Structure 1
Amino acid sequence: MKQQLKKQAVSIIAASMILSGGAVYAESGTQAVVTSAQVISTEASEHSFRVIANDQNIATAGFMNKDKHIMVPLREISEALGFNVTWHQDKQSAEVSLANSPIWTMVTTDVDQYAYNKMNVQLGAKPTKIAGKLYVPATFFSEIMRSQVVTEGNQVNVSFQNEDVKMVTAQGVITSVNDDEKYKSIQINGTGVEGTILNIDEETIIRNRAGEQVDFSALSLGMSIEVKHSLAMTMSLPGQTYAYEITIVEAADDANMLGTSGAIEEVRQDDEGNLSIVVKGMGMSDVSPEQVVLRIDSETTIVDVEGNVIDSDQLTKDAKVLAYYGPMLTKSLPPIGHAWKIVYLGS
């Protein structure tokens, strides 16, 4: 393994000298070592990539690893694009950020895990340190640093325009709350692979209906919220993004509210005109049933995902809903309860 890395390092250094006129820079960037080497192997030549960042020629060449990922030098490209790079020797990690911007990431040697939008993302290639330089997959700059990457032949072009990070405002109803010690998030408008996961940290501003700032613990199942989140979202299901601001529009009747996300299996109406629905799908918490019978009355709120009130006539068989109820249920199968809120998602 060491012999293979040494051979790869020699090839990369040789390629760098050809593309840069013979100067090779250490990771710290404090000194330049000039060599007179003029020969490069055919193999290294074929798998070396000239790198250009914001129209600047990068002294160090990129290369293709054994898994066919194009690897490029992190520091030189990042600084050419205007990013700040801080090396943490104790963790063998590089912190990359942009001044006056939420763009930030941490890259750790030999770990395929890249911080993006307050999440950890895998790119299929580990950062590799060779001859004192840290290389990352070229996709790091497109997927993590919001840059444009174009590969043509043996040339990689990376560009970045420093623009304000765009935010969007959305409405939703909370379907899941994850209050992990290290990782906090909520899911809105769906469960499982549906809806959106909003990642939350100490910088996320959370306000109650009076506009007062509150803690994460104030968020609970069934709440209607308005959220300002990053336009950038993962391609996973469900999509994940970072929440900058959350405003509680309507609180739940009970902090121990239960919920089921699914489809209406049956609509029932007794001789006195009392309406009830059978909902089957996925429980929104560990104690929420997958199937439940819910009584609908004048106290039940029926809305769409944007909070618009709709008529109970929309609650038909096979309609998709987010149903909130309880926490008191009968011990029957399925259990029976009173619907506090029904969010209509469509037929």
Structure 2
Amino acid sequence: MIGENEDARGMITMSGSIMEVQNALVEEMYTSNSRTGYLLISYADPGENDMINIELLQLNIGWETILINQFGDNISLCSITKGSYVNATFSTMMTRSIPPQSNAYRVIAMVNALSYSITTDRILLVDSSNNFIYTGNPNDETEQMRFVITSATEIIDENGNPLNLDDLKPGKMVRIKHANFQTASIPPQTTAFVIELLST
């Protein structure tokens, strides 16, 4: 509990069946695939005698959750780090757990910039049913990479024309702009932001 105006964390407001919080502090982030998981946030809740209580809320992040930064760029969940601030809209339906949980509709993270890495390699496998593509050494799983294709992933040709996942075939060369974060699994997994199909 803190005194009034001693913390920058925003308060929760409600509009119909949607709740919103501005400037919530990220206390913890968990993801197993860089796109789904949860954020544990803290926010200010007015108490008695002009005191402000700091409350915790777990925002569950699904594939349908919109994840963007303050510039409107799509981001992966792992781009949101402990200590950063987010604006979020989420369901009024909350669990009675401690802390309560709610499904997030949209999260806007206050980040310095969209950070990413670029991998240029040949496609090993396209798993369209699970929205994955694999690249790397076909004879060594430790030298492979699994990329998650989300609804926000752009698939384009060298001229910037949009393509479909079906246009990506094993043996084709691609340039993939992806999240810096990757899982510790074999092969490691990360989220693809842009997949460019190369003609060579």
Q: Note closer, same or farther for the CA distance 1:188–1:104 as it changes in structure 2 (3 Å cut).
A: closer
Q: Note closer, same or farther for the CA distance 1:29–1:75 as it changes in structure 2 (3 Å cut).
A: farther
More strand per residue: 2
- 1:3-57 Cα shifts (integer Å, max 9, x gaps): xxxxxxxxxxxxxxxx569xxxxxx678xxxxxxxxxxxxxxxxxxxxxx58xxx
Q: Compute the RMSD of aligned alpha carbons.
A: 4.4
Give the whole-Å Cα distance in 1 for the aligned partners of 2:160 and 2:98.
Answer: 54
Query: Aligned to 2:113, what secondary structure does the other structure show?
Result: coil
Which runs of no fewer than 5 residues in structure 1 stay unpaired? 1-18, 22-27, 31-52, 59-72, 80-84, 89-94, 106-115, 118-127, 136-144, 146-159, 252-347
Q: What is the TM-score when the length of structure 2 is the normalising length?
A: 0.50
For the pair 1:187 / 2:153, whether they are aligned, the reply is: no
More helix per residue: 1
Give the whole-Å Cα distance in 2 for the aligned partners of 1:166 and 1:230.
Answer: 7
Between structure 1 and structure 2, the one with the greater Rg is: 1
Q: Aligned partner of 1:189: which letter?
A: G
Question: Equivalent residues in 2 for 1:289-304 (5 A)?
Answer: none
Residue 74 of structure 1, aligned match among 33, 36, 40 = 40
Q: Note closer, same or farther for the CA distance 1:193–1:229 as it changes in structure 2 (3 Å cut).
A: same
Q: Aligned partner of 1:76: which letter?
A: S
Question: Equivalent residues in 2 for 1:226-305 (5 A)?
Answer: 226-250=175-199
Which runs of no fewer than 5 residues in structure 2 stay unpaired? 4-11, 15-24, 28-38, 46-56, 80-94
Q: What is the TM-score when the length of structure 1 is the normalising length?
A: 0.31
Query: Aligned to 2:166, what secondary structure does the other structure show?
Result: helix
Aligned-pair CA distance for 1:132: 7.3
Question: Equivalent residues in 2 for 1:1-347 (5 A)?
Answer: 74-76=40-42, 99=70, 100-103=72-75, 129-130=96-97, 133-134=100-101, 162-180=111-129, 183-191=130-138, 192-250=141-199
Does 1 or 2 have the higher relative contact order (CA < 8 Å, sep 6+)? 2
Q: Note closer, same or farther for the CA distance 1:104–1:170 as it changes in structure 2 (3 Å cut).
A: closer
**Cα pair 1:75 1:134 within 8 Å, conserved:** no
Give the whole-Å Cα distance in 2 for the aligned partners of 1:74 and 1:29.
Answer: 18
Aligned-pair CA distance for 1:206: 1.4
Query: Aligned to 1:242, what secondary structure does the other structure show?
Result: strand
Give the whole-Å Cα distance in 2 for the aligned partners of 1:86 and 1:133.
Answer: 6
Aligned-pair CA distance for 1:194: 3.1
- 1:83-130 Cα shifts (integer Å, max 9, x gaps): xx8979xxxxxx69554353466xxxxxxxxxx68xxxxxxxxxx843
Aligned residues: 134
Q: Aligned partner of 2:42: which letter?
A: E
Give the whole-Å Cα distance in 1 for the aligned partners of 2:133 and 2:44.
Answer: 32
Q: Identity of paired residues, percent?
A: 17
Give the whole-Å Cα distance in 2 for the aligned partners of 1:76 and 1:96.
Answer: 20
Q: Note closer, same or farther for the CA distance 1:87–1:184 as it changes in structure 2 (3 Å cut).
A: closer
Give the whole-Å Cα distance in 2 for the aligned partners of 1:237 and 1:178.
Answer: 16
